Amino acid sequence: MNKEELIAKLIREGYIARKEVAEAMLKVPREEFVPEELRPYAYEDRPLPIGEGQTISAPHMVAYMIEAAGIKRGDKVLEVGTGSGYHAAVMAEVVGPEGHVFTIERIPELAERAKERLERLGYGDRVTVYVGDGSKGIPEEAPFDKIIVTAAAKEIPEELLRQLKPGGIMVIPVEEAPGFQVLYRVHKSPDGKIRIEKLLPVMFVPLVSDS
């Protein structure tokens, strides 16, 4: 399957609803974000290993999370779990030069490779890569319009809720029972009240916290 066929499939299946998300995914070369030997599989709709026990999410999940969070032009986004940098690159295309993506990765080698890749592909001006405990967010850059978490938490980290702007949305996988994860959409109302929607069962690597 090539990139155009993959995007057409994701539109047909309802994972991509907005033109700007389709255009973003068409612009970002997923093959640049996977190990060289896996490039032939870059446009298959499945996760792929990227080293250090981590994976690049399946394209349908990247699209679904961006749509679920309602990420749009001009948004300031926090991503927890940089991985290869692919998800950050797609979000950077959606937020445009008026927006910014701050992404945090706990594994220094992955963060360094993602940073180099994002800069080489022209996203250095709108994606900033941090190394650290993602469950703590990036307080010095908060608050954020949207937060995307690409690893499964045992519960929604309080620190991330604090860093979400009133009126903002967080999309995060939560392990509700051993081996069973659900993707949550968390709305923070303008007066700070939290409302949680359960979206669908998922399978992500665990969110590892230093504390």
Q: Considering the domain boundaries, does residue 211 fall inside one?
A: no
What tokens were used for 128? 């900033």
Q: Does the pLDDT at position 206 exceed 80? A: yes
Q: Does the pLDDT at position 194 exceed 80? A: yes
Task: Tell me the pLDDT tens digit for each residue of 57-113.
Answer: 999 999 999 999 999 999 999 999 999 999 999 999 999 999 999 999 999 999 999
Q: What is the DSSP letter of 57?
A: P
Q: Does the pLDDT at position 26 exceed 90? A: yes
Q: Which alpha helices (H) appear in the chain, and where do they start and end? A: 3-12, 19-27, 59-69, 86-95, 108-120, 158-163
Q: Considering the domain boundaries, does residue 210 fall inside one?
A: no
Q: Considering the domain boundaries, does residue 177 fall inside one?
A: yes
* Percentage of the residues of the chain whose pLDDT score is greater than 70: 100
Q: Considering the domain boundaries, does residue 22 fall inside one?
A: yes
Q: Considering the domain boundaries, does residue 208 fall inside one?
A: no
Q: Considering the domain boundaries, does residue 179 fall inside one?
A: yes
Per 3-state DSSP, the chain is made up of helix, strand and coil in percentages (nearest 5) of: 35, 30, 35
Q: Considering the domain boundaries, does residue 207 fall inside one?
A: no
List the catalytic residue out of 57, 84, 189, 211.
57
pLDDT of 53: 87
Q: pTM (2 decimals)?
A: 0.95
pLDDT of 25: 97
Q: Does the pLDDT at position 30 exceed 70? A: yes
Three-state DSSP class for residue 40: helix
Q: Considering the domain boundaries, does residue 209 fall inside one?
A: no
pLDDT of 211: 61
What's the domain count of the chain?
1
Q: Does the pLDDT at position 205 exceed 90? A: no
Task: Go through the chain and tell me how many residues it has.
Answer: 211
Instruction: Fill in the amino acid letter for 38.
Output: L
Asked whether 159 and 180 are in contact (CB, 8 A), the reply is: no
Range of the domain at 161: 3-202
Q: Is 57 tagged catalytic? A: yes
Instruction: Output the domain CATH number for residue 141.
Output: 3.40.50.150
